[in-house]
Amino acid sequence: MYLNGELQDNEEIYMEPPLGYENVTPSYVKQLQKSPYGLKQAGQQWYDTLLRALINIGFRVTHTDLGMFLLIQGEDRLMLAVHVDDCILTGSSKQLVTKFKGKINNCYVLTDLGPVHWLLGIKITHDHQMCTLSMSQTSYIDSILVHYTLTEAKPQKSPMILGVQLSKDQGPKTAEEVMHMHKTPYWEAIGSLMYLAIVTQPDIAFAVS
């Protein structure tokens, strides 16, 4: 998708031709017209290109989330959530969803995977009889446990030890303890749990904080 993002006229970026490129002259470079993956501005250029395309077919971007687009047509609503080149399109009318899938596909070729079941590692389950939709990150949780060698840890009902009081006095005091803590991926583990708390497990947010 990044190759759909075009560089601005005032941007001059050059790169050495890759190995195997035809008619390569030593010491020559090529001026880029597109924004390939790897450029610092590639994500922004793709977003700007996509934004213009979606606005042209009737969508507007929401102010609260620049990755969420809304289209209102009469009594019907369409919502499009975009993350890089993954997107979910939903709305109050199946006909309208189908119609605008075609319009977006005319701009950029889509791979229609049907009803969403997985998105960014999140499992999405529909129960049409109960009219419910649930999200889980079981696979992500399992990968965290394996990564931090916690597969043998005992499950607990509460994410915190009840009544515990944490203080700076519990931190490392000697140089040896500090070195030991530097080797412990504490920040990385907390970051993994923060993503989990934000997406599907808000009940651990307080403990993680």
Residue-wise pLDDT for 99-129, tens only, equals 999 999 998 888 888 888 888 889 999 888 8
pTM of the model: 0.68
Residues 84-100, mean pLDDT to the nearest whole number: 89
The region of weakest confidence among 8-12, 13-17, 74-78, 135-139 is 8-12
pLDDT, residue 196, reads 93
**How confident is residue 1, by pLDDT bands cut at 50, 70 and 90?**
low
Polymer length of the chain: 209
| DSSP at 158 | S
Q: What is the arithmetic mean of pLDDT over 157-166?
A: 83
Predicted confidence (pLDDT) per residue in 30-42, tens digit: 888 887 777 888 8
Dihedrals φ, ψ of 199, to 5°?
-85, -55
- Strand runs (DSSP E) across 22-161, as ranges? 30-31, 60-61, 68-73, 76-83, 86-91, 118-119, 122-127, 132-136
Work out whether strand 122-127 and strand 132-136 pair parallel, antiparallel, or are unpaired. Answer: antiparallel
- For 38-57, what is the mean pLDDT? 87
Mean of the per-residue pLDDT values of the chain: 87
Residue 144: which pLDDT band, with cuts at 50, 70 and 90? very high
Looking at the DSSP bridge assignments, the partners of residue 70 are 60, 79
Taking 80 as the threshold, does the pLDDT of residue 130 lie above it?
A: yes
Residues near 205 by beta carbon (within 8 Å), at least 6 away in sequence: 197, 198
Q: What pLDDT does 24 receive?
A: 62
Averaged pLDDT for residues 157-177: 86
| DSSP SS3 for 119 | strand
